Every structure is written in structure tokens, then in C-alpha cells.
Structure 1
């Protein structure tokens, strides 16, 4: 239930976005990805490196990423090359690829982490039977972007979700493919999410000769 602007109790309550930069978070560039990886490797943060890599490759929302179970990404003694999960927001499945470097960092972490296929890949430090919270994940992303000199106001968890999708779109211009990879129900959502505008459309048109 909402609150009226005339409600006395609301007069002194600040807006939820007061002092914050609201809007689409920027995707990372290839150079920034390698900067974060270098930082995490230098600090020996195996869990964070695996989480970061999985976030980039999977293109999942934070709420889905933190709930990944070992069995979702492991087959036998190996990391899967492709995985599938059911999205919390839509209730529909979405598939994602796991590239060689990402599989290597995941394997390194999971060998250290141990556990069964029923356990969460990234357990909470407070309760090992629970998964990492989205708030914990957001705090980690803040640490990572700080470490490589980026502004928290411009980058966040959605930056990781958008990064590979944006790169694929720039390379192919294939919005339908990006819609499938992001698990969007409508292509209009993909257009808004990527920030596709008339300039992008014109550039694509100019590349097409008839």
C-alpha cells in the first residue's frame, strides 16, 4: 500500500533515491574485466574470481546468480560448458555458456570449497547452508569496482549482467539473440536494458548495403 504525499509521517522521510545516481549501470569494458581479474588474482580471492567470472558469462540477475548450486554447473568431475536455471523473476528457464577461462576459475574455487551437488556454489559466510545474499553480492561488486578505480555510482551488479550481452550486441546487432541470453520475455525489455537508441539503429542500417 502506498503513502500519500500529504501524510505527516512522510514529510521528513527522504526519497529512496536521495543523493543517488539512478539509471542504467554501465557495462564493463574488456580492459576493466581484466583489471578486476588481476586484482582478485593478486589478492588470492578465489571465490570472488569465480563469482565475478560466472556473473560475466552467465548474464544472470543477482538473485539468480547467488542461488546457483554446484549441481547446476558441475557434471561429474567437470564444469559444464552450458548450464540452465529457472529465473526467479519470470519462472522461465534460461541457458548460458561457460567459457574455458571461467570453467577454470570455477573449478579452482569448487575444489577448495568442497560440498555436494545440492550445496550452493557460493555459501553465505554467516550460514554455510544458505547462499550468498544479493546484498552481499552488491557489496562485493562495490569493492571490485573501487579496486580498479571505477565509480560505484556508475557500476553495479547489473553492470556484470549487461557486460557480455552488450559486447555480443555490438558485434552482431542481433537483439533477438540477446533477448534469449538475458531471459527477457519481451524484446522491448532488451532494447531498454541495452540502451539501444536511434543512433545504434542507424549505424546498423548503414552497414547494410542492398
Structure 2
């Protein structure tokens, strides 16, 4: 099935990736993070604000964000300052921090959402026993970034995963710390993920006196 490259019509066919932006999506800048938060608060989107804050602080992949359960986030009636989940991709645990803005927005959402500790924090609209789909999560991220005037083609769910990791790396230059926070098994994966190159290395070296 399909077309042969020798078919006359083949030369007229538009490439599947024509006009699309491929490769790594951009991380958000700190001012853009706060702009999204302000937009979500103004729109009254309590669930989305909690999901956004969790994604930024946790640095989890989208497939892990949507599967977080209430019990992963709450202990003794309070939102944890540190939580741990098992990554779907690697099967390995990863620990993350939840700062005050995230704890407050998550608590506000859970007060509205209710539910038991075993329930998903972000349930599906069609089946309350299931979690929101990764596809719906991706659509929400598109709405969030376009809501503050960014091009949705430049950003995605991985942008949220990369945001805090990129900021930490730029402030500290500590690849090992970022590797642990992202749950990468190899430092090479972290280097590729952050786009670390020779220019980054030279800038770090130039800022270090011996």
C-alpha cells in the first residue's frame, strides 16, 4: 500500500513534517511560569493550576503526571513537601519537592475534587475511576501556553518537565543534581536533554576562578 517514490504523484505529496517544528520543545522561563499561573487563576481553572504546578515542581513526564494519585501527594491531611513516584518509563522511583505555591494549588484542587487516597488526583471527565489521558494533558498545555501569547508549536508537555531542570542547571551548572531530579540513569541522557554543548561548558569555565 501507499506510494512508490517513482510514482509521478509522489513528487507532489507534501512531507508529513512540512511546517512542523520537530525536536526538543522549549523550556518555560521563570516569568512565563508566573504568567501561566496568573492566567489560570484569572480563568478560575483550579484543576489546571494544580496540574501545572505539579508538573513544574515534579519534573515528571506527562505519562507520570496524569497517573499521580492523591495518596502520592497527601499525608496526614496535608500536601507533602516531598513526594516520590515510580516512573512508568524506567520503573525506577524518583523523588521531588513541592514548594508552597504548588502545595497551595494542589490543596485547593483536592478540596474541590474530594476522593480517597487511592484515587487519581486528576480524574478523567468521562470515567471518574480513570485518570486524565496524556492526550488531554497535551491539549491543556497547548491552551496554557497559547493563553499567555506563546506559540503552541514551540512548547509541549516536555517543556514543563524541562523548565525547572533547565533553571537549576543554569544557576548551578550541577549536571549530577539535575540527573537525579529527572530520574535519568545516565548522565549522557541529561546532557542531551538539557542541550548542554561546548558553549555552556566554556561559559561555566570562564566563570570559575582557581
TM-score band, normalised by shorter chain = over 0.9
- Distance in 1, Cα, partners of 2:109 & 2:129: 17
- Distance in 1, Cα, partners of 2:109 & 2:31: 23
Provide the aligned C-alpha RMSD in A. 1.9
- Distance in 1, Cα, partners of 2:143 & 2:15: 25
| CA distance 1:16–1:68, change in 2 (3 Å) | farther
Aligned partner of residue 84 in structure 1, secondary structure: strand
| CA distance 1:203–1:104, change in 2 (3 Å) | same
TM-score under structure 1 length normalisation: 0.93
Could you say which residue in structure 1 is the equivalent of 2:111? 111
- Distance in 1, Cα, partners of 2:17 & 2:89: 23
**Does residue 80 of the first structure (1) align with residue 80 of the second (2)?**
yes
Structure 1 segments of 4 or more deviating over 6 A? 3-8, 11-14
**Does residue 134 of the first structure (1) align with residue 109 of the second (2)?**
no
Matches within 5 A, 1:143-182: 143-182=143-182
Aligned partner of residue 118 in structure 1, secondary structure: coil
- Distance in 2, Cα, partners of 1:135 & 1:7: 36
Q: CA deviation at 1:49?
A: 0.3
TM-score under structure 2 length normalisation: 0.93
- List gaps (5 residues or longer) in structure 1: none
- Distance in 2, Cα, partners of 1:120 & 1:14: 42
Could you say which residue in structure 1 is the equivalent of 2:34? 34
- Cα deviations by residue, 1:186-205 (Å, 9 ceiling, x for unpaired): 11110111111111100111
| CA distance 1:181–1:7, change in 2 (3 Å) | farther
| CA distance 1:20–1:81, change in 2 (3 Å) | same
- Distance in 1, Cα, partners of 2:119 & 2:23: 35
Residue correspondences, number: 206
